[in-house]
Amino acid sequence: MDVAINLLVNGLATGILIFLLASGLTLIFGLMSVLNFAHGGLFAWGAFAGVWLFGLTDSFLLAIVGAVVIGMLLGFVLERVLIRPVYGDHIQQLLVTLGGMLVISELLKVFWSPNPIRAVLPDYLQGSIEFGDIILITYRLFVIAVGVVVYLGLHLLLTRTRLGLIVRAGVIDKEMVQALGINIKQVFTFVFLLGAGMAALGGSLLAPYSGVIFAEMGMQYAILAFIVVIVGGMGSVQGSMVAAILVGVLGSFMAYFVPELSLAVNMLLMLAVLLIKPSGLFGAKG
Amino acid sequence: MMLQLDQIETYLDQFHILQGVSLSVQAGSITVLFGRNGAGKTTTLRSIMGLAPIRHGQIRYRGEEIGHLSTYSIARKGIGYVPENQGIFHDFTVEETFRLAMQKNDDEQKEKLAWMLDLFPDLRHYWKKKSGHLSGGQKQMLAIARAYVNSNGLLLIDEPSKGLAPIMVEKLMFHIESMKQKTTVLLVEQNFMMASMIGEQYYLMDEGKIVRGGAMQELKDDADTRQKYLGIA
């Protein structure tokens, strides 16, 4: 029982980190029809910036906020310089964003180090909490709590504000949104910044979680995020949350019980969903 | 003049769809654009909205050239648009649909909304209901009301009768006619009998060109033209 609960918490924490990366990706794809392969690079930048700022300031909170700001600034440049000129052209988007991913990953090596960097936890998040025989790692609970708060904030933004209505409507029918007098390009930029910020937040939270960060980590997590976006339904934040938790928890249990299937399980999940419901679990309806 | 199109030409990919379309819409009137399928009626409305950008010609709204503005700028000038597929967001409630549409949410827009809800009481009744659960006629009412609250003078309505039961079409046409007291309407319609009852001016399109235009009564009296271009006696 204690093993199962630990695996569940571990899976949930991993799922939350993937959700932070995937939710921005799904909004960007759903609203802008841009498959942004550079998104994982923002995640890696968040991790490196977070570790660097924590070392500088000795404040974990400041490090996270700083990493998010850096991620958003980088996202702003990416959107303006790389993505805006290729809106509507998927082949060019693929090439440009993949190229962008490589460039920003290499820049990590230039600014920081080509070698893996160790990431440490602040003292107050170290250790564990015990419930009888069950021992839960404090930081994993912290990651889950942050993820839940971010999800609820995003959910409120999308369902309770006019801006959220615009974003949701833009995912469904961009032409109609423009015909209502809304400048969709401004909304694109906002969504891109939001997605970049969340990716950087995910990266900054992942760094102490995994203990070691490296420049290529963006692509590794981006693949998981793409699976989550497809399983959850392109454009659906709720779908991303559910799919990310599924991927995280399934991965956690499989790695323990059937380790030889732990890598294949995500692909099998995606295949099953595509066969049963090609638009994904929560695919946006028109 | 509320709206004036002067020799507009529009291409969709390599296809030359609108080939020098000129028409004008007088303030406070209902002008109906007739034509068979593929004549270019929908593309004309989409060109006015900037959704199918024109390559040549001019579009003037209240005397101002708008032909090369972006869609959202054209909408902000005060032109409301009801597309052929209604453009309803099915996951949105009626209330959310209006919240999305109302740019300013000022007294003027609130007054317009109140008038629309008086005109279409079903929308008030289903205020918290998801739009996807409304009937075809109610969705059309929602699409028209949404366009109206966000406009300040001109509504472009594309085939509102499509897919509706005859009784609903009659009701809808009656509502559109009563909107004339508040706004100007350019209506694309295939249902000649209904549209000719509410329209004062007409234009007839064929193969991307305006082939006839004038007072609606002239078309009512001209069976040969109706037969030739609309296939109805």
> Is residue B160 a part of any domain in this protein?
yes
> Is residue B162 a part of any domain in this protein?
yes
* Residues of B in Cβ contact (< 8 Å) with A165: 92, 96, 99-100
The number of domains in chain B is 1
How would DSSP label each residue in chain B? Answer: --EEEEEEEEEETTEEEEEEEEEEE-TT-EEEEEE-TTSSHHHHHHHHTTSS-EEEEEEEETTEE-TTS-HHHHHHHTEEEE-TTTT--TTSBHHHHHHHH-SS--HHHHHHHHHHHHH-HHHHHTTTSBGGGS-HHHHHHHHHHHHHHT-SSEEEEE-TTTT--HHHHHHHHHHHHHHTTT-EEEEE-S-HHHHHHH-SEEEEEETTEEEEEEEHHHHHT-HHHHHHHHS--
Give me the percent of chain B exceeding a pLDDT of 70. 100
Interface test with A, best of B13, B45, B48, B72 (most A CBs within 10 A): B72
Whether the per-residue pLDDT at B139 is higher than 90: the answer is yes
Q: What is the pLDDT of residues A204-241, one digit of tens each?
A: 999 998 899 999 898 888 888 889 999 998 878 889 99
* Residues of B in Cβ contact (< 8 Å) with A180: 72, 75, 100-101, 103, 146, 150
Whole-number pLDDT of residue A286: 39
CB A56 within 8 A of CB A73: no
Identify the contact set of chain A against chain B, taking CB-CB distances under 8 A: 162, 165-166, 168-169, 172-173, 175-184, 284-286
* Residues of B in Cβ contact (< 8 Å) with A282: none
A286 or A170, which is more confident: A170
Nearest CA in chain A to B151: A180
Q: What is the pLDDT of residues A83-141, one digit of tens each?
A: 888 877 888 888 999 999 999 999 999 999 889 999 999 989 998 888 877 788 889 89
Are B96 and A286 in contact (CB < 8 Å)?
A: no
A132 or B3, which is more confident: B3
Are B100 and A176 in contact (CB < 8 Å)?
A: no
Whole-number pLDDT of residue A27: 81
Q: How confident is the model at residue A167 (pLDDT cuts 50, 70, 90)?
A: confident
Residue pairs spanning A and B at CB distance below 8 A: 61
Side chain identity, residue B35 = G
* Residues of A in Cβ contact (< 8 Å) with B71: 175, 178-179
Strand pairing class (B184-188; B30-35): parallel
Query: Residue B72 is nearest to which of A162, A181, A284, comparing CB atoms?
Result: A181
B42 or B177, which is more confident: B42
Interface of B with A in 74-113 (CB under 8 A): 75-76, 81, 83, 87, 89-92, 96, 99-101, 103
Side chain identity, residue A39 = H
Whole-number pLDDT of residue A203: 93
CB B51 within 8 A of CB A175: yes
Give me the percent of chain A exceeding a pLDDT of 70. 99
- Span B81-100, mean pLDDT? 94
Query: Residue B100 is nearest to which of A166, A284, A286, comparing CB atoms?
Result: A166
User: Coil, strand or helix: which one is A193?
Assistant: helix
* Residues of A in Cβ contact (< 8 Å) with B51: 175, 178-179
A210 or B45, which is more confident: B45
Q: How confident is the model at residue A176 (pLDDT cuts 50, 70, 90)?
A: very high
Tokens 């009937």 belong to residue: B135
Whether the per-residue pLDDT at B173 is higher than 90: the answer is no
> Is residue B166 a part of any domain in this protein?
yes
CB B86 within 8 A of CB B34: no
What's the domain range around B212? 3-83+153-230
> Is residue B50 a part of any domain in this protein?
yes
How would DSSP label each residue in A98-145? Answer: HHHHHHHHHHHHHHT-SS-EE----GGG-SEEEETTEEEEHHHHHHHH
Whether the per-residue pLDDT at A285 is higher than 70: the answer is no
> Is residue B145 a part of any domain in this protein?
no
CA distance A230 to chain B (A): 20
CATH number of domain containing B195: 3.40.50.300
Q: Name the DSSP letter for residue A285.
A: P
Nearest CA in chain A to B131: A286
Whole-number pLDDT of residue A284: 55
* Residues of A in Cβ contact (< 8 Å) with B146: 180
Query: Residue B87 is nearest to which of A165, A166, A176, comparing CB atoms?
Result: A176
Whether the per-residue pLDDT at B98 is higher than 50: the answer is yes
A88 or B159, which is more confident: B159
> Is residue B178 a part of any domain in this protein?
yes
- Span A182-198, mean pLDDT? 90
> Is residue B125 a part of any domain in this protein?
no
CA distance A259 to chain B (A): 41
* Alpha-carbon span A192 to A27, nearest angstrom: 8
> Is residue B104 a part of any domain in this protein?
no
pTM: 0.80
* Alpha-carbon span A268 to A250, nearest angstrom: 11
CB B22 within 8 A of CB B191: no
Nearest to A172 by CA among A269, A74, A18, A31: A31
Write down the mean pLDDT value for chain A.
89
Are A179 and B90 in contact (CB < 8 Å)?
A: no
Query: Residue B150 is nearest to which of A165, A181, A284, comparing CB atoms?
Result: A181
